Amino acid sequence: MLGRVNHIAIAVPDLSAATATYRDVLGAKVTAPQALPEHGVTVVFVDLPNTKVELLEPLGDASPIAAFLGKNPGGGMHHICYEVADITAARDRLVAGGARVLGDGNPKIGAHGKPVLFLHPKDFYGTLIELEQV
């Protein structure tokens, strides 16, 4: 069911500073910031030869990233995203196996313009998992 790792997401308290660190200190290619109001975040992607790193900053006080940063003020790894061929089939298989899908259980459009779902971290050893249909 799982494909390749699409990206690893890191929540950051200051997206501009994090972007500058990845670009100027690490020499990485980074995208322009993209606001995703439906998800409550602004994101920047760090392009790597084998995957991407997503830097997340809260967009508004109700953002789930704001709550994460409240517990981890310096930032930290937020989730890992795996690719799937059919997100609805993956969701149905996971739910049948007892996994919990966050939100209303229906895919939303993510930063890459593709359907995404998030799986409860308590079902996956403390790791928040995002699935993205490719």
Torsion of CA 62, 98, 126, 31, to 10 degrees: -60
Token representation of residue 4: 């390749």
- Cβ atoms of 13 and 69 closer than 8 Å: yes
**Mean pLDDT for the stretch of residues 78-100:** 98
Confidence tier at 11 by pLDDT (50, 70, 90): very high
Q: 61 pLDDT band (50/70/90 cuts)? A: confident
Q: What are phi and psi of 90, to 5 degrees?
A: -65, -45
* Rounded average pLDDT over 17-22: 98
Catalytic residue check, 130: yes
Catalytic hit among 38, 54, 83, 130: 130
The one-letter code for the residue type at 106 is N
Q: What is the pTM of this model?
A: 0.94
Domains of the chain, start order: 7-133 (3.10.180.10)
Longest dimension (CA), the chain: 46
Give the pLDDT of residue 80.
98
